[in-house]
Amino acid sequence: MESKISSQPETTKADFADHFLCALMISDKHRKIIFTNSYFQKELGWDDSRLLGNDINILFTGASQIFCDSYLFPITSVEGRCEETQITLIKGNGERLPAVVYIRSAPDQEDLLYWTIVPSINRDKLYEELITNRERLEAQAETLNSLATTDELTGVNNRRELMRLSESLVEQAIRGSREVALLFIDIDYFKVINDSHGHPYGDRILKQLGKILSESGRSSDIVGRYGGEEFIIVMPDASRDAARSYAHRIHELAGSINLDQQHLTVSIGVSQTQANKKTPLNLLVKCADEALYRAKAAGRNCTIFFDEKRNDRPRQINHV
């Protein structure tokens, strides 16, 4: 293509350059503009009389001028070219316009620089759209993650997420020889509540209890709905006394939920790791579930630790 152009008159070369959908320019070693295509006039509002023979800085903002002096010209001098660099142009009417420039020096005329300037009129708009789309995708991902990890009714961790987080916590506790307490909580007579008042009423009770459990504990505690009317709380670095005290607190808070003329009660079974003994999560759950069963058998509305003596009536019961 270059050989065909070189064999044609200079006016034809200029006409050819006018067909490009970008600004083409040639500057000399003194940084004077010696050639521009018609894009400057048609799209950028510059007449040849205002450009030809003038310093190229007339086209750039102050910041872009500094950038040209500190980066564009030095790298072009060393490498003979500079590609895809962002600057800010000044249009003939004084408006600013973001653009991308490509520069190269001619092999046979090193004192000349050939410029290709591509205005990025929609660059900021596209960038804003990308940011908006990214934020929307992040929000959607967060929503999907919430649906995958949160119990939709109560707002606490669902069973899968509860077990995943708890297993990691228990493994860390075992490695660090730290105590972990697991509280298995069950609403007393929940079937009676549903049968007497309907499932929407029962759902409201579950929501209230879920809110109480998630807000009353420590930030390090893991709270989740295990299934139905059952909840589990895993307490890291919790002594036996701390677990018992918190269980008592749960009894009190559950009692603040009104059931017509009565108050809600819960039964709680507690299991606990020992510093010198490895107790996996599934065993902790099983032990707490057994302690919960004993609390139910003992008359409900109480807390039983798994290692408490199994008599017909357990000796240590925290009644509210």
The residues annotated with a catalytic role in the active site are 229
Strand order from edge to edge, sheet including 230-236 = 222-227, 230-236, 180-187, 266-272, 303-305
How many whole angstroms separate alpha carbon 40 and alpha carbon 46? 5
- Pair type for strands 303-305 and 266-272: parallel
Find, among 160, 197, 165, 198, the residue nearest to 182 by Cα: 165
How many whole angstroms separate alpha carbon 122 and alpha carbon 98? 9
Give the Cβ contact number of residue 252 at 10 Å. 11
Torsion angles phi and psi, residue 85, rounded to 5: -115, 135
Q: What is the DSSP string of 164-180?
A: HHHHHHHHHHHHTT--E
Quote the tokens at residue 58: 């007339």
Quote the tokens at residue 253: 């808070």
Torsion angles phi and psi, residue 220, rounded to 5: -85, -10
Quote the tokens at residue 12: 């034809």
